Amino acid sequence: MTDTPTSAPENLPAGPGTTPEPIQRGERTGMFGATRGADTTGYGGLRSPILFPGAAVRPYGGDFDAVADALEARVSPEAFVRTVIDRGEMTVVVNREHLPAVARALRDDPDLRFEMCLSVSGVNYPADVGSELHVVYHLMSITHGCRRLRLEVTCPDADPHVPSVVATYPAADWHERETWDMFGIIFDGHPSLTRILMPDDWPGHPQRKDYPLGGIPVEYKGGSVPPPDQRRSYN
């Protein structure tokens, strides 16, 4: 008896329903992945790959194929970058210029009806050259039994613009403001894109990976703790 391969051979496309191999987008060092300044964790020798799920191959299984069919019937094929099925969840990655049309289709199509935008998240992947900034919309369909879906777009550091979806999902208003505040992603068409957590005159965007640790010394009885960027490193 010969062994049956569990994945497609290298350089050949996977067949329908195959679980794709993850894509490595970098390497994390230390316990928390700090790359700037001293490592204060004592675990600087740790090395772990940063893995992204690969694009899924049809059939996806479950309700995912029905969602994909309905969405592809309403939106231009040029809108889609890839679809990821991972850990029982669906993520549709689209080109940012098509985001408003995709959001309206997801909300209005009777076969989709994702009426609720639960949250908007920003992510910064400095090693993802040309797509360093990601925006993820978490959607839910009450009509179809609380079905959930993630909608994702990317933009480069050099052009951090993404169309706002507030006209389609008014609840995204403050979420987009927070994503702008923390990551510096500009949501074109937002009715009032101002800071929501940090003071109006705050320099920079604190959740970007290139933001300095900073901080102030903390004093307590009998000693003090220096700010993170002034602590000693461990060898």
Angle (nearest 5°) at CA 135 between 58 and 82: 15
Q: Give the separation between CA 172 and CA 59, rounded to whole angstroms.
A: 32
Res 9: pLDDT: 40
Residue ranges per structural domain of the chain: 63-193
CATH number for the segment(s) 63-193: 3.30.460.80
Res 18: pLDDT: 60
Instruction: Convert 105-125 to b/e letters by CB count within 10 Å (16 or more is b).
Output: bbbebeebbbebbeebbbbbb
Q: What is the mean pLDDT of each run of 10 residues along the chain (235 residues)?
A: 39 57 81 61 76 90 94 96 93 97 98 97 92 97 96 97 98 98 98 95 92 76 77 58
Res 4: pLDDT: 37
Instruction: Convert 179-193 to b/e letters by CB count within 10 Å (16 or more is b).
Output: bbbbbbbbbeebeeb
Secondary structure class of 183 (helix, strand, coil): helix
> Is the CB of residue 114 less than 8 Å from the CB of residue 139?
yes
How do 80-86 and 47-52 pair as beta strands?
unpaired
Res 150: pLDDT: 97
Segments in 109-159 forming alpha helices (H): none
